[in-house]
Amino acid sequence: MTNRLNVQDLKPKDNVVDVYLLKVITLQESKDGKKYLNIVLADATGDVEGRVWNHAEEIMKVVDRGDYVKCSGKVNFFQGRRQINITGLEKVPQSSINPEDFILKSRQDPEKMFQELLSIVDSMEDVYLKALLQNVLGDEEIARRLKLWQAGKSVHHAYQSGLLEHILSSTILGEQLSRHYGVNRNYVIAGNILHDICKIYELSDGANVDYTEEGKLIGHLVKGVEIVDRFSYRIRGFPYAMKIHLKHILVSHHGEFEYGSPKLPSTSEAYLVHIIDMMDSKMNAFEMCKRLDNSSGNWTGYIKHLDRMIYKAELPFYDQFIEEENLPASPPTSSQTSSPTKEKNFAKQELKQNLGDLLGGIKISK
């Protein structure tokens, strides 16, 4: 990575003069009728919001979503989050930047993930489902896209190779949980691998991922049904009932009508694929919010899509008992006559510990 001031390292009061990817730009009007711009800037380390208070309409005419822009401004703290007060925004030519500086990537190697996925397919007992998956994953263009694509625009696994990471993680969970619940692992593995694979048609690639026309008009659930047809026709005698059950898993994997599933999961295998999908996407959303958040203290800022703030510090852990002299005084039990002094001491100790945690381990004198 070249020498830039990364989004991750921006701190309140920092003066910024650097190039970022313009992810969002919207013209807004304040209560007093003044036009301003809502901006989201990004690089390979995360996103940051910004506001342009002057010359909003002129700037809107010369820069666009997806442009690389040189941003001048100052970082401040607004409602618990960093925000750049932008004074200048100008487009820079794509030839002058290194695209690698602006693409957030999976921490796992896509080639290794893909091989692991193939070896799980190899372990399947059902010859038809196994052949179907080998055909799908053996398609050069599908494999190429799968190794690069994000699983979403912003909510979960929203980084390069995120889709493959999500599919592999779900498939590993599916393998283990289908054994645990005694359901047909072949369908669960096939469902986990195929459930989101058509996001390679639903989303674009590159630094500024967006929904394609096909994504907006058709979507990955319906495209999933298409892919089952397209590849199962190549396998002689592919059982019709098997195709129906596999398609059912794909169309029902969002679990509820309001999340875009035309059918509710009605087999144990479909329900398991749905639960795993939800679990894996939420766990990743938690992980990424913790990783990319820059608020000070133990909590992230408010996260809209999770409708909460997240506790981001490590939870207390002890691999051995605390030494006797460092133990807080025990509270008096009900059988003991409680002495007001003892209770007070205990409360004091707890308060001290709590404050200590809050202040991030700063020692409080007795």
Task: By CB under 5 A, name the binding residues for Fe ion.
Answer: 196, 277
Burial 285-322 (b: 16+ CB within 10 A, else e): bbebbeebbbeeeeebbebeeeeebbeeeeeeeeeeee
Partners of residue 74 on adjacent β-strands: 15, 85
CB of 43 or CB of 277, closer to Fe ion: 277
We find the least distance from the C-beta atom of residue 89 to Fe ion, in angstroms, to be 35
Q: How far apart are CA 231 and CA 340, in angstroms?
A: 76
We find the least distance from the C-beta atom of residue 199 to Fe ion, in angstroms, to be 7
CB of 47 or CB of 277, closer to Fe ion: 277
Closest CA to 184 of 268, 275, 277, 122: 268
CB of 40 or CB of 155, closer to Fe ion: 155
We find the least distance from the C-beta atom of residue 350 to Fe ion, in angstroms, to be 43
Vertex 177: Cα angle to 251 and 135 (nearest 5)? 50
We find the least distance from the C-beta atom of residue 283 to Fe ion, in angstroms, to be 12
CB of 83 or CB of 252, closer to Fe ion: 252
CB of 18 or CB of 196, closer to Fe ion: 196
* Long-range contacts of the stretch 204-208 (C-beta < 8 A, 24+): 205/145, 205/148, 205/149, 205/150, 206/103, 207/21, 207/42, 207/66, 207/99, 207/102, 207/103, 208/21, 208/23, 208/65, 208/66
We find the least distance from the C-beta atom of residue 169 to Fe ion, in angstroms, to be 10
Q: Quick check: 67 and 59 in contact, CB under 8 A?
A: no
We find the least distance from the C-beta atom of residue 179 to Fe ion, in angstroms, to be 21
CB of 82 or CB of 156, closer to Fe ion: 156
Partners of residue 72 on adjacent β-strands: 17, 88
Closest CA to 221 of 193, 186, 257, 197: 197
We find the least distance from the C-beta atom of residue 8 to Fe ion, in angstroms, to be 26
Partners of residue 303 on adjacent β-strands: 308
CB of 252 or CB of 294, closer to Fe ion: 252
Q: How far apart are CA 111 and CA 132, in angstroms?
A: 21
